[in-house]
Amino acid sequence: MTVLEDRIEMADADANTKGLDEWFERLERMPVPEGFRVEIVGGNVHMTPQRDTHWEIIFEIAQALRVRFGRGFKVLSDVRIDFPGHLNGFCPDVAMFKESAKKDDKGRWRHEDVEFVAEVISEGTAANDYGPKKAAYAVAEVPLYVIADPYQGRCFVYTDPKDGDYENRTPVDFGTDIDLTGTVVDLVLKTDDFPRD
């Protein structure tokens, strides 16, 4: 990469961050209904209600990570993280960070420190989780991405990010353990308590 290309990329990143900051500031002033989650995906604002099914699966995944890594490890839900691409301010259902992760100078977690993301499909935003969010996670080189889809009763495990996509995709039906040993989380995720919609 030339110095000019590097400066152009930095300017684009700064413009994206400023644009996202402006959008989120406006959204914070709006009367967003309680129980709704707000994200910006590719410059589009998405508001989705949290459903019981959605939350139960998020809780099961976060709890498995907490049991595996303990309280000192950074496992968060619905916290803004800016990912590569045009205006991508995501709030992953579950995000796990490197042990060395620190917030940036604006007090935000950096996508470079994300090691694992799990998204639970909502009917209205499923295309985001399977499409632009998956691509952004791959571009950010998040080593492990899991989608839990209560409509299909199946999880999809994505590993080995390369060139803006994941090289490996493994479907696992609800009720079957997901063997994530040998990955950054190094655990077996039980799915028998994952509810279906």
pTM score, whole prediction: 0.78
- 88-90 and 114-120 strand pairing: unpaired
Q: What is the pLDDT of residue 10?
A: 37
Cα within 13 Å of Cα(139), Cβ side:
12
Tell me how long the chain is: 197
Q: Is pLDDT above 80 for 31?
A: no
First-to-final CA distance of the chain: 47
Question: What rounded mean pLDDT belongs to the chain?
Answer: 85
Q: What is the pLDDT of residue 28?
A: 67
Q: Tokens 């696992």 label which residue? A: 172
Q: What is the pLDDT of residues 172-187, one digit of tens each?
A: 999 999 999 999 999 9
- Evaluate whether 58 touches 93 at the Cβ level (below 8 Å): yes
| CA separation for the pair 188, 78 (Å, rounded) | 23
| CA separation for the pair 61, 145 (Å, rounded) | 12
Q: Is pLDDT above 80 for 4?
A: no
Q: What is the pLDDT of residue 2?
A: 44
Q: What is the pLDDT of residue 19?
A: 73
74 vs 48 pLDDT, higher one: 74
